[in-house]
Amino acid sequence: MALASGGVILGSSDGQAWSRAWQAKAPLYAITYGNGMFVAVGYGGTILVSADGLKWTSRSSGTCSSLHSVAHGQGTFVAVGNEGLIVTSADATNWFGQKSGTDERLRGVVYGQGVFAAVGYNGTVLTSKDGVRWTRRDSGIEDRLRGIDFSNGLFVATGWHGLVLTSKDGVYWKTRSSFQEDLDPVANRGGVCTTSGPSSPESFRGTSPAGPGWFREESSTDFLAATAPTSKPRW
């Protein structure tokens, strides 16, 4: 499954041919898969869930604040958003607010190495083993972090002014800045970490097979977010 602008959800069985699967009423920003369910989040606290990627149902997040990212791990879904917002669910149906300990906007969350890691504005990095109890970590920077992913045993976070941060455990972070442009959220694609610059004729992609070394590549139009189940989807 993938997200396009305007709340459009796309589906594909091979990653090549895509078709419109659903039209949401609000813009969607992130999507994940776990426990046999797709979960998409977005503007105004929107949460949509689906078992097959074709029929989507709205669930109450308990908030009107936008949710920017969602992840799954240890049988738990975690979504993050504005003003330090964190909501969690074990079944993708019932969602509960958690205390993040920050008022900063959170832009990304991912699960890896047995922990959830969330990032946001003013260099905010939070970690949690269960999605409920969160600890702030020192990122060493004060700029805005816009996304995070986990690949090849490494957390990779990206943000403004070309920021690239990496961590093996989510606790201790190293700066791997390689670009001058602001960077969009990072994604793991077949073991290769990928990020991109602003949408413009000068836009670009930065890629790395392991995190520390980054390479500039020509850009092409991309999805807002994407996810896939471990087994072949049905559509």
Residue 177, pLDDT score? 63
Question: What are the φ and ψ backbone dihedral angles of 82, each rounded to 5 degrees?
Answer: -65, 150
pLDDT in tens, 146-197: 999 998 899 999 988 788 899 999 999 999 865 555 556 555 544 444 444 4
pLDDT in tens, 190-223: 444 444 444 443 433 444 444 455 444 444 444 4
Residue 215, pLDDT score? 46
Which two three-digit tokens encode residue 192?
């290769």
Q: How confident is the model at residue 13 (pLDDT cuts 50, 70, 90)?
A: confident
- Identify the DSSP state of 53: S
Q: Report yes or no on whether pTM surpasses 0.85.
A: no
pLDDT in tens, 94-151: 999 999 999 999 999 999 999 999 999 999 999 999 999 999 999 999 999 999 999 8
Q: How far apart are CA 59 and CA 30, in angstroms?
A: 15
Q: Kindly report the CATH class assigned to 2-226.
A: mainly beta
Q: Is residue 75 classed exposed, middle or buried when 0-12, 13-18 and 19+ CB atoms within 10 A define those classes?
A: exposed
